[in-house]
Amino acid sequence: MKKRIVSLFALAITGVVCLTLYSLGDIHLVMEIMGIEQYEETIHAKEDIKTTIVLDSGHGGYDTGCIANDGTYEKDITLAIALKTGALLSSYGYHVVYTRTSDEVSWSNNNKDDLATRVAIAQEADADYYISIHMNASENNDGANGFEIYVKGNNERILQIASRLESSLTSLAYTNDRGIKTTASSPLYVIDNNTVPAMLIEYGFLTDQNDAAYVCSEDGQQKLAQQLAISIQKNVPLSKS
């Protein structure tokens, strides 16, 4: 970057000192020598504010979520996929915030408090998008399988991410496409009570043998994470400027 002449005017005990400098680095050095408190550079700060993505691993702690036939908990699968997705998004340049990074949760074992805290995390982070990761289950042993994506339907970019993800997951051919659905018919707290544009993904049915085998495998989880990360990358700018 070309150096720009910067004039620094500072009040000193002996009077007014005028220093002509050639880089912000020089300014910092002189300010340190003079005992003036360091400051945050603001010239480029606004344009460098990263887009913040919140990744919510469904369930956790006291709440196992649904359980696969082999005893695998939904909470463990959602966490694994969220961490893999977050690693990819961070490598792309996004700011990633997790609602949890382990099986330990910071909220009480009250379901309403649980959901409210997840939403609060996104709001406190001044997040731009909120993605909640889940698995499905059928209590009727009816052979249900497939992935589905929930949105509120009032944010164009969330719809674009959902549409791209739907196509990407379909191309993996690991299960059926149950479509993109709105919370108008199936209310979801983390979407409907969230001021941050939000989406919830049900990656498959743990009660289906084939779905469970895929989402529980390391390779399957990595591919699901990649498709979500790429769907975000293709539709969401890296910075807020």
Question: 3-state secondary structure string, 67-116?
Answer: ECCCCCEHHHHHHHHHHHHHHHHHHHCCEEEECCCCCCCCCCCCHHHHHH
pLDDT of res. 224:
98
Among 143, 155, 134, residue whose Cα is nearest residue 224: 134
pLDDT of res. 8:
36
Task: Compute CA 180 distance to the chain's CA centroid, rounded to the nearest angstrom.
Answer: 19
Following CA atoms 203, 102, 222, 118 in sequence, which dihedral angle do they give, to the nearest 10 degrees?
Answer: 40
CA angle, corner 18, sides to 34 and 47, nearest 5? 80
pLDDT of res. 230:
98
- The answer to whether the beta carbons of residues 51 and 126 sit under 8 Å apart is no
Query: Listing from the earlier edge strand, what are the strands of the sheet with 198-205?
Result: 95-98, 52-57, 129-136, 198-205, 147-151, 177-182
- The answer to whether the beta carbons of residues 185 and 164 sit under 8 Å apart is no
Distance, in Å, from the CA atom of 185 to the CA atom of 145, rounded to the nearest integer, reads 20
pLDDT of res. 110:
94
Neighbour count for residue 237 (Cβ, 10 Å): 13
Low-confidence ranges of the chain (pLDDT < 50): 1-31, 33-46
Task: Compute CA 200 distance to the chain's CA centroid, rounded to the nearest angstrom.
Answer: 11
Query: Strand pairing partners for 55?
Result: 98, 131
pLDDT of res. 241:
65
- The answer to whether the beta carbons of residues 146 and 140 sit under 8 Å apart is no
Query: Strand pairing partners for 201?
Result: 133, 149
Quote the pTM value: 0.81
H or E element that contains 46: none
